[in-house]
Amino acid sequence: MTPPRPSRPAPARRDLLRGLAAAPLLLRAPAAAASAAEQPIRLRELYEKDLSFSALALSLEGERTTIEGFMAPPLKAESRFFVLTNRPLAVCPFCESEAEWPDDILAVLTRRVVDVIPFNIRIAVEGRLSLGARTDPETGFVSRVRLEDAEVERA
């Protein structure tokens, strides 16, 4: 006599059990996507190869965004403005015109006077992304892209 076969769960019950087993993964997916969206972007992600603004930059315009880089030495003491660079620079990379704007710097306009951070320390800057040519009336600095109302912290 053969022992009785264990009964198989009905298809609906089996599907329910599979769904319950996958639930923790599904609950983590939105959190992972949200944390990926909060990751700092890189300066090079703001531009296409022809130096036009990328789709990412256009989609983030006006939004609070975090970008990592290095603080170039400010133009003057007690400034509320500095340049964020892709790599450490010992001198400020000011440009003569929008046409010569490199794709590896970003103007940062802060809420408060900038505490200067050494040029070789990586920082994270969060601010409202602003695109398009603009000349700062106070400094005369011409920029194509800026973070406004920015806050700075060491990365």
Total count of domains within the chain: 1
In a domain, 67, yes or no: yes
Which residue from 152, 127, 150, 143 is spatially nearest to 61, judged by alpha carbons?
127
Identify the CATH number of the domain in which residue 71 sits. Answer: 2.40.50.140
CA angle (139 as vertex; 40, 105 as ends), nearest 5: 30
Mean pLDDT value across residues 123-152: 90
Stated pTM of the model: 0.68
In a domain, 111, yes or no: yes
Contact 141, 109 (CB under 8 A): no
62 vs 54: CA distance, rounded Å: 15
In a domain, 128, yes or no: yes
Phi-psi region for residue 112, left (φ > 0), alpha (ψ -120 to 50) or beta? beta
117-137 confidence digits (pLDDT tens): 998 999 999 999 999 999 888
Residue 1 pLDDT grade (very low, low, confident, very high; cuts 50, 70, 90): low
Write the DSSP symbol of residue 134: E
74-83 confidence digits (pLDDT tens): 767 788 888 8
Residue 9 pLDDT grade (very low, low, confident, very high; cuts 50, 70, 90): low
CB burial string 23-46: b at 16+ within 10 A, e below: eeeeeeeeeeeeeeeeeebebeeb
108 vs 81: CA distance, rounded Å: 6
- pLDDT at residue 111 greater than cutoff 70: yes
Percent of the chain with pLDDT over 90: 32
70 vs 88: CA distance, rounded Å: 6
In a domain, 12, yes or no: no
The residue segments making up the domain with residue 144 are: 43-154
In a domain, 118, yes or no: yes
